[in-house]
Structure 1
Amino acid sequence: MQEAGQKSDSITLVSVLPAVADVKALRIGRSIHNYAFSVGFESMANVATAMLDMYFKCGSVRNARFMFKGMSSCSRNVVSWNTMINGYEQNGESEEAFATFLKMLDEGVEPTNETTVTWIAMILGYAHNGCVNEALNLFCEMQSHDIKPDSFTLVSVIIALADLSVTRQARWIHGLAIRTLMDKNVFVCAALIDTYAKCGAIQTARKLFGMMQE
């Protein structure tokens, strides 16, 4: 197309950049970035987001970070924020992903379902690695932002609490399960039974087991 003298528009770039990302052709990606900059397409939100995704998938976190910092506030929509969060996560930079998520909230950008996933991934990561307090703090912070946990998140927190063997904490999370109408969920209930048993509250665990419908 270039050799034929045809000019590329923004749709052309948005279409070709995912292909560049798939084959991890970073050199070609940079060339396309230079072209976008020269014709003024770099400031367009869809082009900029496609380039961010390309840089992350090519393993060039530094270029993606540099580009995102240079984007104007109007170009930073929820899709570009999600691209940054996912890109950091895919490149093993979980803490940077979460920091970006918090900055996104600070700037008043409304998160999508895809962004809630970041909270769950972080909570799970802490819980599975024995960092109970960190998992709990993150869970509480998640609630302070009015992001409702699902049963999967709740089970993760309950499992983490089981390691503390503190009945007061078990009752707290049980109360939360009741308030969010998840206390009848079979997985949540099973996790609560396990937690109460590990806390030595055998009668409570037995009572919960008797109340289970399945």
Structure 2
Amino acid sequence: MQAKEHQTMEERLNAIRAGVLGSNDGILTVVGVLFSVGAATNHQFTILIAGLADLFACALSMASGEYASVSSQADAEKVVVDRETQRLRVNPAGVAADIREFYLDRGVTEATADKIVAELMEKAPLRTILATKYDVQLGHYVGPWSAAISSLICAAIGGAFPLLALYFSPVQWQFEATIAATVVAVALTGFLSAKIGHGFTKKAIKRNVVIGLLTIAIHYGIGLFF
């Protein structure tokens, strides 16, 4: 029961990670297009349509990429399950040896390891070898649809930050408002990614802000050539 709850939490975290990454990509791609097109032309409708088109393209691209990636991971996990199921039929001693080695590597004595292996091989051999050798929970595979939908929605929301800032701000303050909205948005994704990954919050925020400002500068410079 505990393993099932743990895997359910992993599935949720997988969707959250996909969402954070999707929102960050949405922010950066949209603001990049806005500044490159904005540097090349002052036609408001052209700038907004370019940003809106990029928002949809980014959201769909992130979702499809996430679906393909997570589906491949789920397929790999299912292949492992099939392989170990076959091993249990033809070579249960080899499976038991792998489980025994797992516990020996963690400092368990040989006598204790033998007892653990004997009990686990009797009660849940497949579940045990999957958890110890591959860190895979039987019956709980990463969900491609939840990750794809999370990435799609969050990429669209992330890209909406700079786009809405540009749309609703006065023309003379559009670039400044868009930069401010971008900084706030990427700082938020940096904070969330650090919390999810148990990393350094300040470092993640600074890194995201620097990347966001560099993205703006590079795309604005590209737009000036046209």
Q: Tell me which of the two structures has the higher relative contact order, counting C-alpha pairs closer than 8 angstroms and 6 or more residues apart.
A: 2
- Answer yes or no: same fold by TM over 0.5: no
Larger radius of gyration: 2
* TM-score bracket for the superposition, by shorter chain length: under 0.3
When the two structures are superposed, what TM-score results if normalisation uses the length of structure 2?
Answer: 0.24
